[in-house]
Structure 1
Amino acid sequence: MIEGKPVSAVVTQGKTSSDKSVLLQPDSIATIGSVVEINSNSYIMTDFKFEGINEIYPTGTLKICNSLFPIQTNETRVLLRDEFGIVVTDERGRPVYTTEIVAITTPCIVQSRYSFTSSEKQITLPDGRIEIVIKYTVSENLREGYEFEMYGENYMIANIDPTGVIDSKGILVISAERKV
């Protein structure tokens, strides 16, 4: 499934156990950043070829998601209720509203090492830092200084790299550092 829609595709193993390649049917729609479900595992499409030789059968490169990142959606206006579930009213009998922030999680790729694509060498990120790759999303909490919990530790977003986003599609690379 790509973005929750069933798709027929040929899936092959990539260079490592966490990578896969997917050969899609000609009418399939996918982009870099698409979330792909294969055998109850989530993957993020990190590369997508759909021009030239791949124009007939688009080809994508997938990397397995190893965690979930908390995304804050818009505030929702809801009726304020008391402990018995009865709607609270003001002195004129009008219902009282409150705002509620809805939080969801999105599959992400978390790594503590950075790979160079031209050579398979990896460098370790400084101690206490992680790199998170997520599908491009607009959210209030995707900003520098936002604190979140992952792997039982508290982290703070240090930087967000939007260079993998074109026309509101793609991936965001978030650099985070552990809070002491």
Structure 2
Amino acid sequence: MSLQEYRERVSRNGVTTSEAIVNNSKYSSSIQFFNSPFLKEILINDKVVNAIVTQGKTSGDKTFLLEPEKSVAAGSVVVISNKNYLVMDFKDEGINEIYPTGTLKVCNNLFPIKQNEMRVLLRDADGNPILDGRGRPQYTVEIVEVTVPCIVDSRYSFTRGEQQIVLAENRIEVVVGYVESENLKLDFEFKMYGDTYKVKNIDYSNVINGEGILIISAERKV
């Protein structure tokens, strides 16, 4: 079939030549994807997903390829071989519409997040509701603390891309997937490596439409 015949055929089907090429490329890529000897199941935000995972520049870095038209947000947690990773970046436009590709960095700790506020009915020692002077039940608010996988570095800053900026003594930077928490704010204190740290800065510049990563700068309490 000549190029002109191909163009006429796709035109009759109401598809432009470029759309047909992209669709054919996606189909071909999908076949190659599922026939890859490196195809494996991974967990992305607790959901099983097929992916092709390759080693990155270091043992803690990986690149993963999803099937065409699949997407995942930066900051998502990926589990591979019982290890937690954070999606640092994901590309799914242009050529990456056919080859959706993301980069991963291994998590080396857990970060405490206080969330899930819950109203709890106050009761006395006998289990009876405690009432106020008008006979109304009294409540308190309990905050449940959970932990999320994170990346901690005590040597270099995450904020300057490929350029390594040395952190000051007693400082660490923590990267977590974006999460809403009223307790995640300046001067919030948390435990890490047996020490207490206080949040000094939270960088939201990598968060778009409620998705992405937070870079938390903290200082050890001496």
> TM-score of the superposition, structure 2-length normalised?
0.73
Question: Aligned to 1:67, which of 102, 106, 109?
Answer: 109
Match of 2:121 among 79, 96, 109: 79
Classify the secondary structure of the residue corresponding to 2:179.
Answer: coil
Q: Give secondary structure in 2 for the equivalent of 1:7.
A: strand
Q: Any stretches of 5+ residues in structure 1 without a counterpart?
A: none
Secondary structure of residue in 1 paired with 2:190: strand
The answer to whether the Cα contact below 8 Å between 1:7 and 1:28 also exists between their aligned partners in 2 is no
Q: In 2 relative to 1, CA 93–11 (structure 1 residues): closer, same or farther, beyond 3 Å?
A: same
- Letter of the 1:167 counterpart: N
The change in CA–CA distance for 1:96 and 1:157 in structure 2 (over 3 A counts) is: same
CA contact (8 A) 2:189 2:199 kept: yes
Does residue 80 of structure 2 align to residue 38 of structure 1? yes
Greater percentage in strand: 1
Instruction: Give the structure 1 partner of residue 200 of structure 2.
Output: 158
> Which structure shows the higher helix fraction?
2
Which runs of 5 or more structure 2 residues have no equivalent in the other structure?
1-42
Greater Rg by CA? 2
CA RMSD of aligned residues (A): 1.9
Query: Aligned residue for 2:67?
Result: 25
Instruction: Specify which structure has the bigger relative contact order, considering alpha-carbon pairs within 8 angstroms and separated by 6 or more residues.
Output: 1
In 2, Cα distance between the equivalents of 1:74 and 1:177? 26
**Cα drift, residue 145 of structure 1:** 1.2
CA deviation after TM superposition for structure 1 residue 90, in Å:
4.3
The structure 2 residue matched to 1:124, chosen from 155, 166, 172, is 166
TM-score by length of 1: 0.89
State the identity %.
59
Which residue among 89, 104, 107 is the counterpart of 2:149? 107
